[in-house]
Structure 1
C-alpha cells in the first residue's frame, strides 16, 4: 500500500507554531530521546495501556498511517504532521486518513468486518463495550454508502457517501476524534511547566 501525504508538509513551520512546538518537542524528546517513536513508545506516549487485541490492531493501523516514510518509527516531523491533521485538518484530509485507518489489510476497500473491528476498538479505547450498538452502526454506514451493494466500501464510495451525509460525517468524526487524548497530554505539559 502506497501512502499519500496526510496534509501539506510545506506548512511545517506554521504547524510547529500551531502545536506549541517547544512544549510538544520537549514532551516528544522526553518520551523518546532517540527522536524516533516506536509503536510501543507511541502507545505509551498517548497513555494507551492494556489494550485488547482488536484495540491494539486499531492503534497499530493509526501508527502506520502516521509513519509517512514507512520506516517503522514516527519522527518529530511526522508527529507534527499527525497532530496538525488531528487538531486542524480539513474534513477531506481527515476522511482520507480515516479511510486509511479503516482499511486494515491495505486492499483499497473497507469491508464490514474491518469497519466493525475499528468501531469496536475505538469504543474499547473509550471504555465502551456495546457490540450490538457497534454492529448496528457498522450496518448503518454500509446501508447508507455502499452504493453498488458489493459489501465493500471503495475509497470513492466512502469519501462521497460520508461527505454527502452530514449526520454520518459527524458520527464518524466524533467516533475517531482523538483530540481529547491530545488535550490530556497538553494539560499534563502545562502542569509540569
Structure 2
C-alpha cells in the first residue's frame, strides 16, 4: 500500500483485506478511507495534525505530551506518521476491539521505549501527561488526585513480583482487577 495509497483509491482487494484484518465491514473501511483522504490528502497523518485535533478536545489543558504517547502507540510502522492502514487498524481496535486487545494496546502506549516492559518511571511519564491534559477539570478520588498517586496506585496493582518491570501479561492481569479501568475500556465498544 505505502506510497501508492497517497495517490489512489483503495482497491476492492485492499478494502477486503483491511476489512478482514479489522472489525469494520468493507463499506465502513471505504467510508473511513474517504474521510482519511479528505483530512490527510497526502495519505499521511502527522503528529502535528494529531496534536492540533487533540488540543480541540482538551482546550484547558496541555495535551502535547499525551498525544505524543498516543500517536506513537498508533504509529505501527514507527515512521512518525500514520498511513491509512495503521490508522484503520488502531481505530478498529479502540472502537471495537476486545478488552484484551485494548489492554495490550494500552501497555504498548506506556512502553514508550519499546523494551517489552513498563517501569514505574515510564508509567509516571504517561500519567504526568494525562494530568497535564485534564488539568483540574476532572474530579478524581483522593487516592488518584495527582499523577504521583495515580502512578503509585496503578503500579502497585500490576507489579506483583517486585522486579521493577511490568510485562504485558502482568499489566493485563492487574488492570483487569480495576473496575473503573475495565469500564473505561468498554466506553467505545459501540462506535460505528
- Name the TM-score, length of structure 1 as normaliser: 0.68
Structure 2 match to 1:17:
25
Larger CA deviation: 91-100 vs 101-110: 101-110
Structure 2 match to 1:81:
89
Shift of 1:139: 1.3
Q: Compare CA radii of gyration and give the structure with the larger one.
A: 2
Structure 1's 102 and 81: CA in aligned 2 closer, same or farther, altered over 3 A? same
Residues 137-163 of structure 1: CA distance to partner in whole angstroms, max 9, x if unpaired? 221222222112233322232122223
The answer to whether the Cα contact below 8 Å between 2:58 and 2:134 also exists between their aligned partners in 1 is: no
Query: RMSD of aligned C-alpha atoms?
Result: 3.3
Q: Distance in 1 between matches of 2:149 and 2:17?
A: 40
The answer to whether the Cα contact below 8 Å between 1:86 and 1:178 also exists between their aligned partners in 2 is: no
The structure 2 residue matched to 1:140, chosen from 131, 153, 169, is 153
Structure 1 match to 2:52:
44
Structure 1 match to 2:122:
114
Number of residue pairs matched by the alignment:
168
Structure 2 match to 1:65:
73
Structure 1 match to 2:180:
171
Shift of 1:133: 3.4
The answer to whether the Cα contact below 8 Å between 1:86 and 1:94 also exists between their aligned partners in 2 is: yes
Consecutive unaligned residues of structure 2, counting only runs of 5 or more, are: 1-15
Structure 1's 18 and 63: CA in aligned 2 closer, same or farther, altered over 3 A? farther
- Name the TM-score, length of structure 2 as normaliser: 0.69
The structure 1 residue matched to 2:111, chosen from 103, 106, 117, is 103
Consecutive unaligned residues of structure 1, counting only runs of 5 or more, are: 1-9, 187-193
The structure 1 residue matched to 2:102, chosen from 94, 102, 111, is 94
Structure 1's 135 and 174: CA in aligned 2 closer, same or farther, altered over 3 A? farther
The structure 2 residue matched to 1:27, chosen from 13, 28, 35, is 35
